[in-house]
Amino acid sequence: MARKLRIGIVGLGGVGAVHLEAYRDHPRIEVVAGAELDATRLRDLAAKHRFNPYADFRRMLAEETLDLVCVATTVATHEEVTIACVQAGKPVLCEKPIAGTVEAAKRMIAAAAAAGVPLFYGATYRFLPAVRRARELIQSGAIGKVLLMREQEVGGTGPEGRHLMGFAHYPKGTPGGSGFGLVDHGIHLIDLFGWFAASPVESVFGRGNLSGETAATEYLLMNFQSGALGHLLYEDATFSTNLPGEGLFSWGSAWTLQGYVPPGQWQAAPGSIHVHGDQGALRIFHYANQLFLTDKDGTRQIALEGRHAPGHFAAQMEACAATILDGAPAAVTGEDGLAALEVLMAAYRSFKEKKVACIR
């Protein structure tokens, strides 16, 4: 068997712990070290997952032999941590969004290129089994030409329930806000819609919140070069209009408006993505791990393969291992992270200028 990918993780907060779970007993991935500022959390996770703990990630870089560093720190620190890692000669997988500004993302990409090491981007949704299968179906022509892609997350428990990410992720006054807003969540879908449509975004209109400022419903309309439309709509400070009895059994774990839920739960309003083509349509329950195809022959459920959430983090890291250890092309790069960020930032421009914003 090929050797394991030796990785270190910087940032062992909410998602860092999920990465650790996903890599547990993995035949190809070994977490040898982790760095975290919270001493108690570091100690507990290191004891549970048996890796070498570091309070200072720079010491980890100096002392450990690593094939890759996974950057799962607060968004505002992605640039500093990623650049330090690539300059130490380590390939990096950086969590989404790649950075808080387009300029920072460009500096990260330039630093990795100058150091001659890959910079992978954490477009984790691309590794969910329902999403992967949906893309295969789209590519095989199962729904014809893609016309419209949409996702909405609307619900919550009123204004107090808004899940604010805080200034450590998004400094006061910069784009960001809720964990179910355009920046922190919508960035996944911006990437995915381009991947589904196999086409770049040409122009957008949208509205996003600024961290620490009065929040409003967020939305984004994306006009793709292919003619397809992408639509995102987010509001987590109201209440759901779902009726009792609506819902689905979720096979995978999920980030929901109620927080992170473990696998195998009933969900009243499971997250889903809609893709409409001129020959059919797909309903993708990305975390619940279910996929439905509707066309002129009716609606049927599509069988899925691969590990559901949080296993998609392992699938993502397997793709990094294939590049680093086997020389396969990178599945998702820093440029993909930059492209999604440019679309996102154009939404803020469009709202300010009260007109459709062109990309680049």
Q: DSSP character for 161?
A: G
Among positions 74, 209, 267, 323, the unique one binding ligand NAD when judged by CB under 6 A: 74
Among positions 69, 81, 275, 339, the unique one binding ligand NAD when judged by CB under 6 A: 81
Dist. CA 330–CA 321, nearest whole Å:
10
Q: What is the dihedral of CA 185, 190, 192, 198, to 10 degrees?
A: 180
Among positions 7, 8, 9, 11, the unique one binding ligand NAD when judged by CB under 6 A: 11
Backbone angles phi, psi at 14, to 5 degrees: -55, -55
The answer to whether 42 and 55 have CB atoms below 8 angstroms apart is: yes
For residue 332, state whether it binds ligand NAD (rule: CB under 6 A).
no
The answer to whether 107 and 201 have CB atoms below 8 angstroms apart is: no
How many chain residues bind ligand NAD (CB under 6 A)? 23
Token pair for 293: 């195809």
Q: Which stretch binds ligand NAD (CB under 6 A): 70-78, 206-214, 234-242, 262-270?
A: 70-78
For residue 259, state whether it binds ligand NAD (rule: CB under 6 A).
no
For residue 16, state whether it binds ligand NAD (rule: CB under 6 A).
yes
User: Minimum CB separation from ligand NAD for residue 296, in Å?
Assistant: 35
From the list 120, 1, 125, 133, the residue with the least C-alpha distance to 70 is 120
The answer to whether 223 and 204 have CB atoms below 8 angstroms apart is: yes
The answer to whether 332 and 126 have CB atoms below 8 angstroms apart is: yes
- Which residue(s) pair with 274 in the sheet? 150, 283
Q: Determine the residue with CB nearest ligand NAD.
A: 13
Report which secondary-structure segment, H or E, holds 188: helix 187-197
Q: Considering beta carbons, is residue 91 or 186 the nearer one to ligand NAD? A: 186
Among positions 9, 22, 75, 222, the unique one binding ligand NAD when judged by CB under 6 A: 75
Q: Considering beta carbons, is residue 126 or 135 the nearer one to ligand NAD? A: 126
Footprint of ligand NAD on 87-126 (CB under 6 A): 95-96, 122, 124
User: Minimum CB separation from ligand NAD for residue 277, in Å?
Assistant: 26
User: Minimum CB separation from ligand NAD for residue 300, in Å?
Assistant: 28
From the list 330, 220, 130, 233, the residue with the least C-alpha distance to 138 is 130
For residue 290, state whether it binds ligand NAD (rule: CB under 6 A).
no
Q: Considering beta carbons, is residue 56 or 136 the nearer one to ligand NAD? A: 56
- Which residue(s) pair with 152 in the sheet? 233
The residue ranges that bind ligand NAD (CB under 6 A) are: 10-16, 35-38, 57, 72-75, 77, 81, 95-96, 122, 124, 184
